[in-house]
Chains A and B, each alone.
Chain A
Amino acid sequence: MTHANTSPKSRSFLMLTGAVLTVACLIGGAFYTRGPDLTFAPQMAEAPVILADGSALHVQKYEVTVAEWNKCHMAGGCSLALRATGSHTEAEMPATGLSFMDVAEYVTWINATTRMQFRLPTLAEWELMAAEVLPPAPDPIFTGPELTWASAYLMEPQTKRTLRPNGTFETTTQGIVDLNGSVWEWTQDCYVGAAEGQLTPDRCPAFFVGGEHVAAMSYLVRDPARGGCAVGTPPAHLGMRLVSDQAS
């Protein structure tokens, strides 16, 4: 990440992630030549999640599907093209193999196209909406302060890692589906470690992803492989779910 803010690639990253957090304004200007196209608007869960401060958070019912993703790709908003594997249709499979960079493209595109204001959830929002369907957090296997680096290692049986069609896993009271599935969902929260206040979203090496166990994931990773030095069980698949502070 050294000199990240000087290379052309990093500049576009800065713009994309900036757009995630606010409203698309600079890039994707071409979309503004048309009126909003609400046919691209995602299906939201029946009821909003009420946050601690009493405000309502509107959450996409399912994870973004391959079919939805490919509309972004066809429109030129998302560089990655996806394909449903096996005998499943694009409409029933969650879009996976997505890095934070990819996800940022999608948020930018969907907001420009629908002129709505979607974003990724914060980690706190994600944990709140998923709390009722997540298994209780297992006790840490190590409690000593010198073993914090290993304490999150999971020896409990995990959800099967196989990618499943949407609707396979549980539904929350609000009607949000598959939060406890085999897809981990990108949040907008940067893993800042001790450097709180120094890292900004455009200079963030890793974001939290929500799933059966919370993980921090490099913004570049599309497929979190297992093993190696990474202690613990990494997420199986990386995908996304939109939220909005406004009712659609």
Chain B
Amino acid sequence: MTKVFNPGLMQTNRRNVLRGSVLAGAAAMAGTAGHAGQRRAPLPKMQPPAPRFLVAEEQAQMAAPAADLSGYTRVKQELVAPPFAPAHEQVATGGPKIIEITMETTEVLMVIDEDTGAEVWALTYNGSVPGPLIICHEGDMVELTLRNPVDSQMEHNIDFHASTGALGGGGLTHVFPGEETVLRWKATKPGCFTYHCAPGGAMIPYHVTHGMNGAVMVLPRDGLKDGMGNALTYDSIAYIGEQDYYLPMDEFGDYKKYAFAGDDYADSLDAMRTLTPTHCVFNGAVGALTGENALTAKVGETVLMIHNQANRDSRPHLIGGHGNYVWETSFSDAPLTGLETWFVRGGTAMAAMYTFEQPGVYAYVNHNLIEATLLGAAAHFVVEGEWNNELMEQVVAPRTFET
């Protein structure tokens, strides 16, 4: 994945940064094209529309009694880039925690398919698609510092499906370039949950289909269990974010390129309206989890595959393996067992657990095979270990036969 950081305006403030769609039109009218070094002409001073909802939320919050945080221990969680998971306990020790995390809303030019050179100004949390995996336990609180870098073009926020109230926190986390905000929410429901940017209106799917989504895993305090209540543990996590992109094309069918994040807004809306993605990839780009980036494991190891799809249904299948335990919805319900293919409801994250029994290469695909092969939704596991002839054996190698 090639990344180029946004070379846009370094100095911005709330007055000259409006939502992308408004800005694009205003900038065009102001005739900024000829201004070298500065992308946008100064706009007349404008008050943003009165944020009535936000005001109401803030007032309600001030009127409510303060939360009692006395029983909680503060810890920091260092977030890591996908497909990896942050250091965490599977079974919680000690009392509930306030888990402090920081995410930056960076706008990054990413090549999403080297073969065609297709690229997108990805809108990200911490520079990756998907955003980093956050892990906590039921009863913990997550305290997020959300920071929008000064060189961003756009406003960002975050809606945690795992949280309760204020549009999942979206109503309280709007940050303009150069701003930060802190949101604390309590994890009351165990399961895997998506999070995504939701700045309002058509900007919501625009941000989500530009990569601005990720997953939170809220583990039960005593860890994962099968339907009989027996503990289930894993050796590693493979965190897979499935991303549908809708890239605008020119009249020849070539993917268009844009100088700045947000420049593709109008074209993107037309492309999104088709509901037909041009790409459907794992972890941001075609091939991001294959070849030299393939996932690895050993026979006997158990992997928890966390699949996030913030926008669209999907149906993962591990070619050559199974889903031994699958939590499609929450960790409150007993897992499904022995699945061939499992379902990811659009707008959810879910988890599937598998213990590898054979060495070799496994393909983890969206089993809409058109999306897997033509749109890019494929990852590979390379597994070391001893072959089991009882499970499978080539009895006769291909040979000619008499006709």
| A contact residues vs B (CB 8 Å cutoff) | 83, 85-86, 141-142, 144, 146-147, 149-150, 153-158, 160-163, 193-195, 198, 223, 225-233, 236-237
Contact = CB atoms under 8 A, between A and B. Distances in A.
B387 A144 contact: yes
Contact of A227 (B254, B363, B382, B394): B363
A156 B292 CA distance: 5
Contacts of A227: 286-287, 290, 363, 365, 372-373, 376-378
Contacts of A144: 359, 387
Interface stretch (B61-69, B191-199, B303-311, B395-403): B395-403
Interface string B287-307: 100111010000000000000
A226 B293 CA distance: 14
Q: Can you list the 9 inter-chain pairs with the closest CB atoms, starting with the nearest? A: A227-B378, A228-B373, A161-B114, A150-B360, A150-B361, A146-B387, A194-B398, A231-B361, A233-B291
Interface of B: 114-115, 117, 252, 254, 286-287, 290-292, 294, 319, 359-361, 363, 365, 369, 372-374, 376-378, 380, 382, 387, 389, 393-394, 397-400
A147 B386 CA distance: 10
24 contacts: A83-B252, A141-B382, A146-B389, A146-B393, A146-B394, A147-B359, A153-B294, A153-B361, A155-B294, A161-B114, A161-B115, A162-B114, A194-B397, A194-B398, A195-B398, A225-B373, A225-B374, A226-B376, A227-B287, A227-B290, A227-B365, A227-B376, A229-B363, A231-B363
B65 to A, nearest CB: 53
State the main secondary structure of chain A at its contact with B: loop
B372 to A, nearest CB: 5
A153 B382 contact: yes
A80 to B, nearest CB: 14
Given A141-B382, A227-B363, A157 B292 contact: yes
B197 to A, nearest CB: 28
B269 to A, nearest CB: 25
Given A142-B359, A229-B319, A160 B378 contact: no
Contacts of A142: 359-360
Contacts of A149: 360
Contacts of A141: 382
A85 B372 contact: no
Given A153-B361, A162-B117, A226-B115, 11 more contacts: A85-B254, A146-B393, A154-B291, A194-B400, A227-B286, A227-B365, A227-B376, A227-B378, A228-B365, A229-B363, A231-B380
A230 B362 CA distance: 10
Contacts of B360: 142, 147, 149-150
Contact of A86 (B115, B117, B372): B117
Contacts of A158: 291-292
Given A146-B393, A161-B114, A162-B117, A228 B363 contact: yes
